[in-house]
């Protein structure tokens, strides 16, 4: 039986980050990945908007932006698209049908949110404190968090506390009149969440993303696949053993402590430390087993909300793609979420586990390939998706903007398919909703925060932990640091 200092279940980007970091600390690390390639859900990501500079520095990853200018193109049915340019974080309008007053207000809303997201940003990269631990480090961290909010000044602090529970639609309607601009910001607030523009907390999700990404529209022109390759190379260089196409069936324990893992082929690897890159629900209910956890903990696990609702659409065209009304040399992302009402209608269907007649799209174009996030396409617990119907709806929307569409290949990956391939409960972008009761020291839930679990030697490092999903790597590095701290 082979023995390792640390076994990591899953070679998603967070698993790889944790593995590379731990092996650099002279630990013998094994990563076991179910699929033939590592990277996990990163397969569906188009951009690395939120890769943490801590990761690039500590693991020596080259994430230099090859293109400092990005475009954000918010599509409008009458071809009056809004085109914004993001030049190293500085946002300006290239083209829009919004009047000057709205343009000014749009930029000032983003700047005002930036003040709050900067404060939140200082909480994002660290392990969140335990509220009642009495531990000196936790108390100091809590005081520091409180001080950072207080430092905003009376007016801004009050405003932060006011907007944090509000819905984005109300704030935008108070300050803007242009539908396209309101649709664009609402889209940024709700993509990947289980919220609509009128759901309370949808400003918080925007602030949260802005805090992690360092900007609302910040995204880097780097191949996601290149980032994953660099992470894998970093693991290989540091002698991490990676076994692919192999699934862990069970986390083994004795007397409430981890002893190793058992694979689907019954093989056993021993270790007194296991880190799960699988989501919290799957880790506790499937890999560990409810029988060794107490009833209240199981209730909290089951109540963790993780219904995914974003599908991935991939279309290959016979010719290079040109979007009407947009210069074809623009690198950027296209958004079809034309107004608040449209997004809210799409969200209404999602509430009842149906997909909307009119989904929202966020897409990227590379020559003749179009890759889109389609929302809301809810995870279906008891039925199958009609993939062809959804593809037809998307093509019908796209045909408003792309003339002469000759498609040679089409593929839709639903949250159900993502669940099957990557064992992610609900096929959720963040492994669990980003809402106020599932954030920071409450993520994923009470009794399992700060990357630890009720089982000695078992840790979590996936997007289901603080600070949530996206290709930050923060979950992986924080979990690894927690392990090193505990081993000491
Ligand atoms: C459609 C879509 C588009 C997205 N687009 C973006 C984007 O553009 N930018 C961005 O930053 N983020 C994006 N995200 C979010 C981002 O991809 C995820 O949040 C992130 O990849 C999660 O990483 P992870 O390492 O925590 O988990 P995962 O990527 O889920 O990795 C978990 C790994 O564990 C493996 N595993 C699970 N169980 C077992 C087992 N029992 N045995 C062995 N292996 C196991 C899985 O196969 C998987 O490889 C997107 C997500 C989706 C769904």
User: Could you tell me which residues come within 8 angstroms of residue 43 by beta carbon, excluding any fewer than 6 positions away?
Assistant: 37
pLDDT for 448: 95
For residue 427, give the ligand 1 atom closest to its CA. Answer: 53
CA dihedral 131, 133, 135, 140 (to 10 degrees): 10
Cα-atom radius of gyration of the chain, to the nearest Å?
A: 22
Mutation choice for ligand 1 from 7, 10, 124, 262, CB with most ligand atoms inside 8 A: 10
Q: What pLDDT score does 15 carry? A: 98
DSSP 348-400: HHHHTT---SS-EEEEEEETTEEEEEEE-----SSS---HHHHHHHHHHHHTT
Position in ligand 1 atom list of the atom nearest CA 430: 19
Query: What token pair was written down for 46?
Result: 């188009």
Helix (H) or strand (E) holding 188: helix 179-190
pLDDT at residue 157, as a whole number: 87
If residue 410 lies in a helix (H) or strand (E), which one and from where to where?
A: strand 407-413
pLDDT of residue 222: 67
Based on the number of CB atoms within 10 Å of its own CB, is 219 exposed (0-12), middle (13-18) or buried (19 or more)?
buried
pLDDT, residue 216, reads 84
Please state whether 79 falls in left (phi above 0), alpha (psi between -120 and 50) or beta.
Answer: left
Best residue among 41, 275, 420, 432 to mutate for probing ligand 1, ranked by most atoms within 8 Å of CB: 41
* pLDDT score for 155: 87
pLDDT of res. 362: 97
Secondary structure of residue 87 in the 3-state scheme? strand
- The number of the ligand 1 atom at minimal distance from the alpha carbon of 32 is 43
Q: Divide the 488 residues of the chain into consecutive groups of 10 and give the mean pLDDT of each group.
A: 96 98 97 98 88 86 73 94 89 95 97 90 83 80 83 87 91 97 97 96 93 79 86 97 98 98 98 98 97 96 97 97 84 93 96 90 94 96 92 97 94 97 98 93 93 97 96 95 94
Residue for token pair 């924080």:
478
Q: Are 126 and 141 in contact (CB under 8 A)?
A: yes
Cα 426 to middle of ligand 1, angstroms: 12
CA 214/CA 274 separation, integer angstroms: 32
User: Which of 7, 8, 12, 466 to mutate to test ligand 1, by most ligand atoms within 8 A of the CB atom?
Assistant: 12
Residue 400 CB neighbours (<10 A): 14
Q: Ligand 1 mean position to 327 CA, how many Å?
A: 33
- Residues 6 or more apart whose Cβ sits within 8 Å of residue 410: 313, 314, 315, 316, 391, 395
Query: For residue 373, what pLDDT is reported?
Result: 97
Distances (CA, A) of 154 to 111, 117, 165, 350: 18, 17, 18, 39
User: Hey, which of 235, 278, 362, 464 would you mutate to test ligand 1's pocket, going by the most ligand atoms within 8 Å of its Cβ?
Assistant: 278
Q: Which long-range contacts (CB under 8 A, 24 or more apart) does 329-332 make?
A: 330/71, 330/73, 330/83, 331/67, 331/69, 331/70, 331/71, 331/221, 332/70, 332/71, 332/72, 332/73, 332/364
Q: Tokens standing for 310?
A: 């974003």
Helices (H) and strands (E) in the chain, counts: 15, 17
| Separation between Cα atoms, residue 201 and residue 282, nearest integer Å | 26
Considering only CA atoms, which residue is closest to atom 41 of ligand 1? 248
CATH code matching the domain that covers 2-63+223-305+427-487, chosen among 3.40.47.10, 3.40.960.10, 3.50.50.60, 3.40.50.10790: 3.50.50.60
Cβ < 6 Å from ligand 1: which residues?
9-15, 32-35, 40-42, 44-47, 49-50, 247-248, 277-278, 287, 310, 312, 373, 418, 422-424, 429-430, 462-463, 469-471, 475
Residue 89 token pair? 């974080």
**Rounded to the nearest whole angstrom, what is the distance from the C-alpha of residue 39 to the centroid of ligand 1?**
7
Centroid of ligand 1 to alpha carbon of 312 (angstroms): 13
Between CA 476 and CA 44 the distance in angstroms is 19
CA distance 125 to 466: 9
Distance CA 467, CA 75 (A): 31
Find the helix or strand (DSSP H, E) in which 232 lies: helix 224-237
User: First and final CA of the chain: distance in angstroms?
Assistant: 26
Strands of 214-304, DSSP E: 241-243, 248-254, 257-263, 268-270, 274-276
Between the CA of 159 and the centroid of ligand 1 the distance, in Å, is 35
Comparing C-alpha atoms, which of 358, 288, 260 is closest to residue 30? 260
What is the pTM (predicted TM-score) of this model?
0.95
Distance CA 110, CA 114 (A): 6
Sole residue written with tokens 């324990």: 253
């Amino acid at each position: 039986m082979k023995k390792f200092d640390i076994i990591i279940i899953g070679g998603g980007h967070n698993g790889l980050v944790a593995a590379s970091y731990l092996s650099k600390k002279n630990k013998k690390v094994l990563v076991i990945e179910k699929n033939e390639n590592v990277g996990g859900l990163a397969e569906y990501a188009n951009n690395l908007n939120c890769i943490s500079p801590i990761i690039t520095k500590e693991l020596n990853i080259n994430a230099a932006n090859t293109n400092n200018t990005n475009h954000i193109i918010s599509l409008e049915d009458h071809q009056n698209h809004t085109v914004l340019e993001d030049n190293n974080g500085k946002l300006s309008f290239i083209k829009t049908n919004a009047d000057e007053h709205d343009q000014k207000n749009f930029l000032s809303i983003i700047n005002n949110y930036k003040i709050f997201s900067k404060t939140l940003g200082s909480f994002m990269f660290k392990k969140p404190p335990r509220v009642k631990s009495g531990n000196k480090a936790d108390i100091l961290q809590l005081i520091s968090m409180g001080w950072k909010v207080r430092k905003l000044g009376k007016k801004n602090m009050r405003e932060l506390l006011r907007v944090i529970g509000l819905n984005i639609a109300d704030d935008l309607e108070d300050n803007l009149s242009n539908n396209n601009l309101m649709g664009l910001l609402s889209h940024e607030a709700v993509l990947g969440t289980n919220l609509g523009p009128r759901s309370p907390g949808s400003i918080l999700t925007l602030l949260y993303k802005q805090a992690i990404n360092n900007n609302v529209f910040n995204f880097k022109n780097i191949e996601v696949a290149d980032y994953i390759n660099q992470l894998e190379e970093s693991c290989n260089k540091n002698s991490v053993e990676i076994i692919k196409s192999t699934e862990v069936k069970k986390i083994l324990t004795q007397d409430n402590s981890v002893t190793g893992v058992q694979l689907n082929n019954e093989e056993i690897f021993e270790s007194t430390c296991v880190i799960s890159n699988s989501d919290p629900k799957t880790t506790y209910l499937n890999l560990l087993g409810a029988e060794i956890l107490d009833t209240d903990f199981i209730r909290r696990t089951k109540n963790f909300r993780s219904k995914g609702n974003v599908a991935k659409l991939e279309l290959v065209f016979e010719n290079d793609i040109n979007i009407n009304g947009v210069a074809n040399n623009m690198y950027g992302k296209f958004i079809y979420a034309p107004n608040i009402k449209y997004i809210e209608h799409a969200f209404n269907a999602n509430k009842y586990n149906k997909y909307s007649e009119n989904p929202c799209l966020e897409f990227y174009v590379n020559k003749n390939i179009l890759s889109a996030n389609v929302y809301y396409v809810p995870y279906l617990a008891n039925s199958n998706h009609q993939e062809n119907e959804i593809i037809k709806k998307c093509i019908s929307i796209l045909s408003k903007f792309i003339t002469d569409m000759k498609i040679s290949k089409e593929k839709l990956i639903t949250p159900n398919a993502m669940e099957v391939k990557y064992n992610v409960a609900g096929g959720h972008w963040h492994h669990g909703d980003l809402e106020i009761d599932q954030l920071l020291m409450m993520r994923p839930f009470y009794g399992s925060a700060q990357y630890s679990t009720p089982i000695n030697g078992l840790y979590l490092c996936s997007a289901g932990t603080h600070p949530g999903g996206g290709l930050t790597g923060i979950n992986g590095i924080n979990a690894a640091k927690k392990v090193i701290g505990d081993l000491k």
